[in-house]
Structure 1
Amino acid sequence: MSMLKFAAAFAVMASPALATGIQIEVEGEANGIITIDLFEDVAPKHVEQITALAAEGQYDGVVFHRVIDGFMAQTGDVKFGKLGEDMRMAGRGGSDRPDLPAEFSDKSFDRGVIGMARSQNPNSANSQFFIMFAPAPHLNGQYTVVGHVTEGMDIVDAIKLGKGQNGAVIGQPDLMKKVTVTE
């Protein structure tokens, strides 16, 4: 082994393992696994927040509260979005962690891209995220891109659509039964 290869191998072994994604087990009208590759190099603070919440089990049992046909499916409200809670509040909360400063990039909001939900304040993303059904170039540079679906877009496409105001899901919403961090 050359000294350069040895040094590279040692550097990989010595560096802490970064989470590279999450798997979401979906239950409801859609059933199956969505695999997501997270972009640590594009949005490191947001990826750290998502993976920490997933590792703590905070996303488990959280519903897809806002699902707009041809646009996106939103989830991740760990405060008000747990199945069995008052669904009228879903989408208004975050987590106990602080809101994050925007990490805007030149990544496009294409089909399968994961973006962070926020209020009008660009630095207000916390735990909620959305998965794109279709391209939405009007979001480019306005929301933080954190990853993309690598497997399971058929599951995303099957998530129960919202029929209420602004895409609110009426009745029993689909949920993230279990969210697991992958490496």
Structure 2
Amino acid sequence: MRLKIHKFLVAFVVVSALMLSGCSTPPVNPSSGSPTSTATEANAATEVTTTATNAEAATQTTSVAQNNSEIIPGMNDLPKLEGKATVVMTVKGSPITIEVDGTNAPITAGNFVDLVQRGVYDGLSFHRVVRQPSPFVVQGGDPKGNGTGGFIDQATGTERRIPLEIKPQDADAPIYGKTFKEAGVTKPPVLTHKLGAVAMARSQLPNSASSQFYFALANIGFLDGDYAVFGYVTDGMPIVDKIQQGDKIESAKVTSGAENLKNGGK
């Protein structure tokens, strides 16, 4: 009975601490049983969460293939990746190769490839690295460098946000705007949080991801159905394992599949 109570408390803490820094943070490492972020991250959460509350949230679950309604304003105008692409990210002078999967996450993958082509990630730092008490995530892609920022589209003057996009196994299209639990989905996603997964960070609002992403340092399947995986590290995982907080992305380049990017990348 005591063991069951402990497991319940651990799960409760994980769910309660899903987003600690606005549009930037995946959950804490569940093995600790308590949040692993710093007080600075917690303070940032209050500020950004308040801002994010004003953003328009999803009102229904849909898919691009099923109808043309928009979960968030401008959703249908977002970049989309029709197929796959390869991105090589250089950190510490060494390449990290990422296979980006637009087949199963077209908007999430398209957003990432578009930002790479724009040079948004060049020079940005990894602001969050969690390895204790066990490997969890390396997170970067924030133009502000502190976990509270996103990509500001110069054409609109506003932050680009993308809908939560997760495709269940055996489904024809992704679920948009809701977690699997909210949508009543019981099957696992096609793209899971296995070691080397690359996924988008967001606030507690499902449609708040922008430019921040994270590498999974272990199999962290408890995030499946809550966060959008859009690719995997296919080469260079030892480099990811050596990344420290403050290390910079020296460059990020699309080396193949750029032709699969549609409605964006200009």
TM-score tier by shorter-chain length is: 0.7 to 0.9
Partner Cα separation in structure 2 for residue 150 and residue 115 of structure 1 = 14
Tell whether 2:249 aligns with 1:176.
Answer: yes
Counterpart for residue 121 of structure 2: 59
Tell whether 2:198 aligns with 1:114.
Answer: yes
Tell whether 2:166 aligns with 1:93.
Answer: no
SS in 1 for 2:152: coil
For the structure 1 residues 49 and 158, does the alpha-carbon distance in structure 2 shift closer, same or farther, using more than 3 Å as the test?
same
Q: Is the 8 A contact 2:83 2:103 kept in 1?
A: no
- Normalized against structure 2, the TM-score is what? 0.52
The one of the two structures with greater contact order (alpha-carbon pairs below 8 A, sep at least 6) is: 1
Partner Cα separation in structure 2 for residue 139 and residue 76 of structure 1 = 19
Counterpart for residue 73 of structure 1: 138
**Which runs of no fewer than 5 residues in structure 2 stay unpaired?**
1-80, 154-159, 168-188, 257-266
Residue identity opposite 1:61 in structure 2: G
Give the number of aligned pairs. Answer: 145
Q: Is the 8 A contact 2:86 2:99 kept in 1?
A: yes
SS in 2 for 1:20: strand
Residue identity opposite 2:242 in structure 1: A
Tell whether 2:108 aligns with 1:24.
Answer: no
Tell whether 2:112 aligns with 1:50.
Answer: yes
- Normalized against structure 1, the TM-score is what? 0.75
**Which runs of no fewer than 5 residues in structure 1 stay unpaired?**
1-15, 82-89, 161-168
- The root-mean-square deviation of aligned C-alpha atoms, in Å, is 1.6
Tell whether 2:230 aligns with 1:146.
Answer: yes
Q: Is the 8 A contact 2:126 2:248 kept in 1?
A: yes
Shift of 1:39: 0.7
Tell me which protein shows more helix as a share of its residues.
Answer: 2
Q: Is the 8 A contact 1:100 1:124 kept in 2?
A: yes
Shift of 1:71: 0.3
